[in-house]
């Protein structure tokens, strides 16, 4: 398979875990490039459901190498717990799971600051973060005070940490929150460092060597385009570049080494956390989508907000990521909807928007312009060929591809590996 970046084209939770698991069959290496354990990738194999937060979704195919790249922020304690969970299911990670020595470390004070800042924000300004410390950890990275895995394994770790703990406790005091205990952190992280050490590697060299040897790489994006710190619904975003561009800076692989971009997109839209969501449905249909789609956050368990397919968002995601193919998921969730709606544009203050406005307050006031299509009112979850889809379902999928100008690569009609129609991927 060509070197592929796989990104979420909406607000995350598009079903990337499943698509990655399916595509991983054809690759040699799977690489995470941004985010942290705010992500939750669900993989269903047989009757077993696995939720991964940091470990790449390729881990369940035993001959694949999995890498956590330099662009990821990693809580080593959470990582070791996750690895233990994977090993408990009989999966061997030795020699095939690596963490970048350049990846930044998430500490308890990052989580404490994340939670304290959220508590300080007034209603309507809360981001609804996962409270995993992601924003403060990336903040330290760009402020050039972050500690990386190379530092975690270094003998001067405790000394470097001490400065950061002092500064963090100052911030926490300013936010009216409890301080963190330096000694406890040193002990906990020394222990985690000893366990994580065999996995730490210069992944920039590791990945580039694989590229030079002609191995095929799948770059696994987390979250989604509308949560990208540059292109998303700022400030209601996460703190990394979730888009295809992040795959280069988050791994050290040059842009011309990447052959194609696959955008994962749900046949409707969801969002977890706060912030604008133009096609949100706060009615019976929204509740039905949530119920049928089991729309609960894989990391926090929060119910996801549900709404119609937003082609404005999808077109924008196709543009900023250069999406070559859609991997469209959860079509079956719409099986019992009489009329399906697609937002083709927005209107706000008498102005029509064909693309996503930069200002979050404008986006929050936008009302969608809908195009309606008949539903199919038939079960699609057992369909294995495009030609066997109900005509109305096929028309809906084709219309989504037409409006967004992107070809269909894969269609998913259920959570298991088998309910996947590989069209061009």
# residues near ligand IMP by CB under 6 A = 20
**Cα atoms in the 13 Å half-sphere on the side-chain side of 390:** 18
Task: With both helix axes pointing from N to C terminus, report the angle between 134-142 and 108-120 in degrees, rounded to the nearest 10.
Answer: 110
**Number of C-beta neighbours around residue 375 at 10 A:** 17
Least Å distance, CB 2 to ligand IMP, is 26
Is 308 in contact with 368 (CB distance < 8 Å)?
Answer: yes
Site string for ligand IMP, 114-133 (x = CB under 6 A): -------------xxxx-x-
Is 327 in contact with 409 (CB distance < 8 Å)?
Answer: yes
Task: Decide: helix, strand or coil at residue 334.
Answer: helix
- Closest to ligand IMP by CB, 198 or 303: 303
Segment 224-253, which members bind ligand IMP (CB under 6 A)? Answer: 227, 236, 238-239
- Binding of ligand IMP by 13 (CB under 6 A): yes
- Binding of ligand IMP by 73 (CB under 6 A): no
Closest CB to ligand IMP: residue number: 273
Segment 133-152, which members bind ligand IMP (CB under 6 A)? Answer: 134-135
Is 54 in contact with 68 (CB distance < 8 Å)?
Answer: yes
Among 210, 222, 306, 323, binds ligand IMP (CB under 6 A): 222
Q: Which of 337, 341, 415, 409 is nearest to 379 (CA)?
A: 337
What lies within 8 Å, CB to CB, of 187 at 6+ separation is: none
Least Å distance, CB 52 to ligand IMP, is 11
Site string for ligand IMP, 267-286 (x = CB under 6 A): -----xx-------------
Least Å distance, CB 142 to ligand IMP, is 15
- CA distances to 24, 57, 61, 313, 424 from 66, in Å: 10, 8, 10, 30, 25
Least Å distance, CB 301 to ligand IMP, is 12
- Binding of ligand IMP by 223 (CB under 6 A): yes
Specify the stretch interacting with ligand IMP by CB under 6 A; choose among 61-69, 221-229, 335-343, 363-371: 221-229
C-alpha of 301 from chain center: 15
- Closest to ligand IMP by CB, 68 or 206: 68
Least Å distance, CB 234 to ligand IMP, is 11
What lies within 8 Å, CB to CB, of 257 at 6+ separation is: 3, 211
DSSP 90: T
Show the tokens assigned to 237: 């975003």
Active-site residue list: 13, 41
Footprint of ligand IMP (CB under 6 A): 12-13, 38-40, 127-130, 132, 134-135, 222-223, 227, 236, 238-239, 272-273
């Amino acid at each position: 398979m060509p070197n592929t970046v796989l990104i979420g084209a909406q607000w995350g939770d598009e079903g990337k875990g499943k698509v990655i698991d399916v595509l991983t069959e054809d690759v040699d290496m799977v690489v995470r490039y941004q985010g942290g354990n705010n992500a939750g990738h669900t993989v269903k194999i047989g009757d077993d459901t696995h939720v991964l937060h940091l470990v790449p979704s390729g881990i369940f195919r035993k001959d694949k190498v999995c890498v956590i790249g330099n662009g990821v922020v990693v809580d080593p304690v959470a990582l070791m717990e996750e690895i233990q969970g994977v090993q408990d299911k009989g999966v061997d990670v030795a020699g095939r799971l690596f963490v970048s020595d350049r990846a930044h470390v998430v500490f308890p004070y990052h989580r404490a600051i994340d939670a304290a800042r959220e508590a300080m924000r007034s209603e309507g300004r809360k981001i609804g973060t996962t409270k995993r410390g992601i924003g403060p950890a990336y903040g330290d990275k760009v402020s050039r005070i972050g500690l990386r895995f190379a530092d975690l394994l270094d003998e001067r770790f405790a000394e470097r940490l001490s400065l950061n703990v002092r500064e963090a406790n100052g911030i926490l005091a300013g936010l009216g929150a409890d301080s963190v205990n330096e000694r406890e952190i040193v002990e906990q992280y020394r222990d985690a460092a000893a366990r994580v050490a065999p996995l730490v590697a210069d992944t920039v060299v590791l990945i580039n060597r694989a590229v030079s040897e002609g191995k095929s790489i799948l770059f696994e994006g987390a979250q989604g385009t509308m949560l990208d710190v540059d292109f998303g619904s700022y400030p209601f975003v996460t703190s990394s570049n979730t888009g295809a561009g992040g795959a280069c800076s988050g791994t050290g692989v040059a842009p011309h080494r990447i052959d194609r971009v696959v955008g994962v997109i749900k046949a409707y839209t969801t969002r977890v956390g706060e912030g604008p969501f133009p096609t949100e449905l706060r009615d019976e249909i929204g509740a039905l989508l949530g119920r049928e789609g089991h729309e609960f956050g894989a990391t926090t368990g929060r119910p996801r907000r549900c709404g119609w397919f937003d082609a404005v968002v999808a077109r924008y995601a196709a543009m900023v990521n250069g999406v070559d193919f859609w991997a469209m998921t959860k079509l079956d969730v719409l099986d019992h909807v009489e009329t399906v709606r697609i937002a083709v544009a927005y209107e706000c203050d008498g102005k029509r928007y064909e693309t996503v406005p930069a200002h979050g307050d404008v986006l929050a006031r936008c009302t969608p312009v809908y195009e309606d299509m008949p539903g199919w009112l038939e079960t699609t979850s057992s369909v294995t060929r495009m030609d066997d889809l109900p005509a109305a379902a096929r028309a809906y999928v084709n219309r989504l591809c037409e409006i967004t100008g992107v070809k269909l690569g894969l269609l998913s009609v259920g959570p298991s590996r088998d309910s996947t129609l590989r069209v061009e991927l």
